[in-house]
Structure 1
């Protein structure tokens, strides 16, 4: 009999995972405690922007003409427990207010609400990013609560989704990591991921702690690489070097590689910053805090880049202590392109700081405008890059959307009060902008 799958939590991770499991041929039931979200998903709509996700949902959501009908949604834990053989937990693990530590309340609630209805053999699979040691505790809790005690197992299967590529990363993962305690859990997960495994995706079997550590370790390594090149940008500015050429030379070293060596205003989003902070907090609880003290500097370098961009903008408009009377255009609101996610966005952070210092800030972003308005309602928002730039004393390029790389500098120059652009992502063609009469400046690069 074919496995039936439930997905607990239908946010960014859960909605993508549910649609992908249906695409792999399984009957899937998605669960969320927010009725409005379930209503939206049941009509094939998604509450966030992720390329290809809405099309994949509509291909499988029951009740939509021409769909496979393999994907449904509910708010009922009892229904989910009765339906599924494998239950994926995909709820959020935000940073605690006022602390570095991870808030496990959503995971705990989801697991407990499901477990008390599990009266038949089942496998519960955690996908959320959690502090190491959580799986051990949750396995014990499931054993306490599940009516089918002894026949319900836990496994941990961390997610490695990149926003903007989540559908591809789920259907064609670069690796599948599973933390299991027994052969049955491994066998079931091999069955779930049979398609990707047959295509060559590596299947790595570990214990619970190792599986939990993989995602936080990967994010910490990535954050370190990004902050390293940003630290080099600071040195380049002090020494008169060019961080772009430095990164190019470093990237040819096969031990280092060229990816994520683009200096700029740093990383943000809902995962990287909170994950490295939670990792530091958990290491401290385990008595291994000294092992991760370097992550404090990684975090510090990253946050410092935002302030540095504000200072560069102030210098550019000849401001002394404020931006009073200055018009500033900000291209970008999301923390990265191909997403509408503005959580901990460096772009919005910079825009907000300039606004608080008296600047008349106008923001444009291809997909993140509505979310940005919710977080920063006092900023001005434009319907196009051209409108945002109109009358601006300085233009800040802060999210590397393709649309911004393809802008016509000459046309924008006609609208701006001054042809002055600060490239916070080192992603624009400097010579092209300078040829159109713009003064181009980027982080970690010489003026000319």
Structure 2
């Protein structure tokens, strides 16, 4: 096992960093208890830190304090209850309490797309920093973890200088997050890399001290945790650059799916073949309905907007096409539905009136209840606007989906959703749907027609059970 800090010749400088509170380890706070902040707060308590999770939303804090995570993430509820019981973890709506308690304050608030443009809305970042800073009474480190436009950390420094009491020496750093929904607990406890953007030795030492629990766990498991210590701008760019690359890779294979559909080729075979090339790899190379969620879509748009402000807009022009490809795949499902149902395309699109369509999946990915920019739910809405009677089922996302699109019919099981359906659309690759029995489902549908929006079904298995099958970027397969 090598040292967890391979780029540092000596750890002595950082070993001498003492938390301003005088506690043996830094006391940590996480401002914002949405998906990001709540996950980090719970997992860092699991690593042995004293932690406060903060939010202005009293209902959310009450739920967390009562032992209930307000979103679905495998394994997180159990860790929440365990660490509440240990008293290492608590939740608060008081900036005063947070300021008095914490040595390192992680800013984990949302940075949504602006209502009037593609850029990121930083109002929540501004509010968190501006409200916390006046209550600080000793030196502290404010660490940005939210995904932000490059240049935000410098702006946060200005906010701290404006609002914090003079002479405390409060510093700012940036440490982007790399969580994958459905795998977030593992991503916090066993990250594949950690990035620190810091200006001083003290800030860097505090960041290491705040992550020692991760490094200690890695030592016990004989793993390495790569650490990159860099400047503010690079640290801010790491997350958006990573998301831009992943979005580009997904849209690339979906562009190939468009070509495959025109040429009669099979994009799943194409993807498999090029994925064997180690320079390319097969991850994020599965063609289908495209990407969604609370990160990739808004992050690539904010990245373009910021690059334009910096005079580097031409460098990211390709991301506009990445976004367009992603949107086209949603429309393609509606086109396939019309083809399978024998409906003609009109000037305003196909008329799907009187067609009962089952949509399996409402979340943007499995093992989550997140419906933000979910392609599956967007397609369900498009089918309904074309006149279809849409019946939706999702194992975790029903409540969120119902709040977002209330005019659809939501069922309590997969069987209820497909019963009497003229067409079944599998739009989120939940295991329940991937492993569904086409023979059994064929007995309760109105007609055996299926669109595999995630290319997660076995075409041969479904066609042998009498189904007309359509995949994304795959040849037509008839029963």
The answer (yes or no) to whether the contact 2:141–2:203 under 8 Å persists in 1 is yes
Deviations 1:366-414 (A, max 9, x none): 0000100001111011111111111111100100001111111111000
Counterpart check, 1:294 vs 2:318:
yes
In structure 1, the partner of 2:453 is 424
The offset of 1:432, in angstroms, is 1.3
Distance 1:278 1:117 in 2: 31
The offset of 1:150, in angstroms, is 5.1
In the TM superposition, what are the counterparts of 1:407-418 in structure 2 within 5 Å? Answer: 407-418=436-447
- What SS does the aligned partner of 2:135 have? coil
- What SS does the aligned partner of 1:373 have? helix
* Alignment counterpart, residue 258 of structure 1, candidates 262, 282, 286: 282
Which 4+ residue blocks in structure 1 deviate beyond 3 angstroms?
none
The answer (yes or no) to whether the contact 1:348–1:372 under 8 Å persists in 2 is yes
How many pairs does the alignment contain?
Answer: 443
- What SS does the aligned partner of 1:205 have? strand
Counterpart check, 1:344 vs 2:373:
yes
- What SS does the aligned partner of 2:25 have? coil
Distance 2:225 2:213 in 1: 9
The offset of 1:357, in angstroms, is 1.1
The offset of 1:195, in angstroms, is 2.9
Distance 2:122 2:307 in 1: 16
Counterpart check, 1:26 vs 2:49:
yes
In structure 1, the partner of 2:306 is 282
* Alignment counterpart, residue 238 of structure 1, candidates 240, 262, 276: 262
In structure 1, the partner of 2:109 is 91
Counterpart check, 1:3 vs 2:3:
no
In structure 2, the partner of 1:57 is 80
In structure 1, the partner of 2:36 is 13
CA gap 1:115/1:413 in 2 versus in 1, 3 angstroms: same
The answer (yes or no) to whether the contact 1:143–1:149 under 8 Å persists in 2 is no
Counterpart check, 1:397 vs 2:421:
no
Distance 1:363 1:413 in 2: 18
- What SS does the aligned partner of 1:116 have? helix
Deviations 1:176-208 (A, max 9, x none): 001000111111111111132341211110100
The answer (yes or no) to whether the contact 2:25–2:209 under 8 Å persists in 1 is no
Distance 1:220 1:226 in 2: 10
Counterpart check, 1:195 vs 2:213:
yes
The answer (yes or no) to whether the contact 2:366–2:428 under 8 Å persists in 1 is yes
Counterpart check, 1:43 vs 2:66:
yes
Distance 1:310 1:93 in 2: 31
In structure 1, the partner of 2:235 is 211
Deviations 1:264-306 (A, max 9, x none): 1100111100000000000000000000000000000000110
Query: Which stretch of structure 1 is more off in the superposition, 280-289 or 193-202?
Result: 193-202
Distance 1:148 1:362 in 2: 59
Deviations 1:302-360 (A, max 9, x none): 00110111111111111123101111010100000000000111001111011011100
The answer (yes or no) to whether the contact 1:22–1:28 under 8 Å persists in 2 is yes
Deviations 1:103-122 (A, max 9, x none): 00000000111111112010
- What SS does the aligned partner of 1:178 have? strand
In structure 1, the partner of 2:98 is 80
The answer (yes or no) to whether the contact 1:95–1:102 under 8 Å persists in 2 is yes
Deviations 1:21-55 (A, max 9, x none): 10111111111001111110001101111111111
- What SS does the aligned partner of 1:73 have? strand
TM-score scaled by structure 1?
0.98
In the TM superposition, what are the counterparts of 1:369-388 in structure 2 within 5 Å? Answer: 369-388=398-417
Distance 1:302 1:139 in 2: 37
TM-score scaled by structure 2?
0.91
* Alignment counterpart, residue 144 of structure 1, candidates 139, 158, 162: 162
Query: Which stretch of structure 1 is more off in the superposition, 143-152 or 287-296?
Result: 143-152
In structure 1, the partner of 2:172 is 154
CA gap 1:48/1:204 in 2 versus in 1, 3 angstroms: same
Query: Which stretch of structure 1 is more off in the superposition, 317-326 or 148-157?
Result: 148-157
Distance 1:228 1:47 in 2: 35
The answer (yes or no) to whether the contact 1:121–1:148 under 8 Å persists in 2 is no
Distance 2:242 2:50 in 1: 31
- What SS does the aligned partner of 2:113 have? coil
Distance 1:362 1:145 in 2: 52
* Alignment counterpart, residue 362 of structure 1, candidates 391, 399, 407: 391
